[in-house]
Each structure stands twice: as structure tokens, then as C-alpha cells.
Amino acid sequence: MISTGEVYAGLTFPEAPAGRPYTFINMVSTIDGKTVTGTDQEPVGDLGSQVDHLLMRRIESAADAILIGAGALRSTPGLWYPKDKWRFVLTRSGELDYASRFFTDAPEKVGVLAPADVSVPSAHLHLSNDVAATLDKLRNQLGITHLLIEGGSEINAEFLRLDLVDELFLTLAPKIKLGNCLPTYAGGQPLDRQQVQNYDLLEHHQVGSELFLRYRRVQS
């Protein structure tokens, strides 16, 4: 076991590829793989420990930008990020609370990835929800080199299916939730056997009974 001080201190990543940012997901799950403690409409602040919350901020500080799904944002209305970070939300409906801190803290640093016919306040960037095309734009027009995706389960699956994720951070919280229909690290449609993705374990840390795992995609 090591002290919290050493975990993810001075986190570094490889350089970004030409057509998109270097992309990593961070999530916390129970031992049985669930990523919520209540329903999927509710916040999950009680899933990870205070150490997990601290490490989440450390991982955020190593990114230029954070992207989340509309479900994650609706479930956690007080969600905030440091004002110097770009923050993006992926939505089809556009049903978002534009009065929440996610939008008001740094309006000029907000991007809404939504279909063209969705109305987005002019204070924010309106980007396409074609995620591959938009990642190219983030890299080549906004200069974003390192992008953190913080869930939820549905949007993680969208990026993983397209094989656009370089690293996965997982906090394994020593809890059991149960439930067939609750979100996991990534939902979506299953991959075929031939498409199952492999990852190397890059780092692992234990603090108390919690495990902090960092995986990198194996290049085929």
C-alpha cells in the first residue's frame, strides 16, 4: 500500500495523434461493476472515497478538456470544473440546464456536441455530435491535445466502440450494488468476439480497500 500523495502525481501521457486528442476515461465502479449508487438519474458522489475524489481532480488537471454525457450532467446538477478547462457535453435532445455551473463558470469554454437542429445558447460553442469529426476539430481547431471523458456509461461506449480511447482509469470501490439494468463502465451494444479490445495495466495503487487502476489500449 502507498500513500495518496504518490498516486497519479505528475501524471503524464504520450503526445496526441494528429487527428484527435489523446483520450482517456475515468470512472469509479463497485466490485460488481456498477457505476451508480442510487438510480441512473442521481449523483454518485458516495461511490468513491475522498481519495477517489482527490485523484479525480488530479486526472482532470492533466487534461486540457473534459467531456461528459448529458445523462451524467443531468444527474449531477452542481458539477463544476476549473475555469481554465474546456468542458464539453454530448446530447441529442439538448435538454440541459444552461443555468448550472457547468455552463455559467466559464461560458466561453463550453462546447455542446449536439445535432444541428438543437438550439444552443450563443455564449457556447455548438459542435457536431459526430464524435470522430468533432475530436478532429478539438485537436486541430481548438488545440486540445489531452481529453478526459468522465462518463457516463452510454457515452463511454460510443467512444470505445469507435476505438477512440487510449487509456482507461478505473477506481474499484469496495462495494456491491446489484441490479441487471444499472449502468456499468460502458454500456451500448456488445462488440463481436473478434472486436474485443485488449488493454495493458500501466499502474495500480491500493489506498485502504480501494484500488486505482490505469490501463492503456494495446495497439494491434
Ligand X SMILES: NC(=O)c1ccc[n+]([C@@H]2O[C@H](COP(=O)([O-])OP(=O)(O)OC[C@H]3O[C@@H](n4cnc5c(N)ncnc54)[C@H](OP(=O)(O)O)[C@@H]3O)[C@@H](O)[C@H]2O)c1
Q: Which residues sit opposite 29 in a β-bridge? A: 172
Q: How far is the CB of 127 from ligand X (least distance, A)?
A: 11
Compare residues 18 and 181 and give the one whose CB is closer to ligand X: 181
Chain residues that interact with ligand X, rule: CB under 6 A: 27-28, 35-36, 40, 42-44, 47, 68-72, 75-76, 90-93, 95, 129, 150-155, 158, 183, 187
Q: How far is the CB of 113 from ligand X (least distance, A)?
A: 6
Q: How far is the CB of 41 from ligand X (least distance, A)?
A: 6
Compare residues 40 and 64 and give the one whose CB is closer to ligand X: 40
Q: Which three cell numbers stand for residue 190?
A: 456488445
Compare residues 14 and 209 and give the one whose CB is closer to ligand X: 209
DSSP output for 75-122: H-TT----TTSEEEEE-SS----TTSHHHHSSGGGEEEE--TTS---T
Q: Up-side HSE of residue 70: CA atoms within 13 Å toward CB?
A: 13
Q: How far is the CB of 61 from ligand X (least distance, A)?
A: 17
Nearest-CA neighbor of 112 among 75, 70, 165? Answer: 70
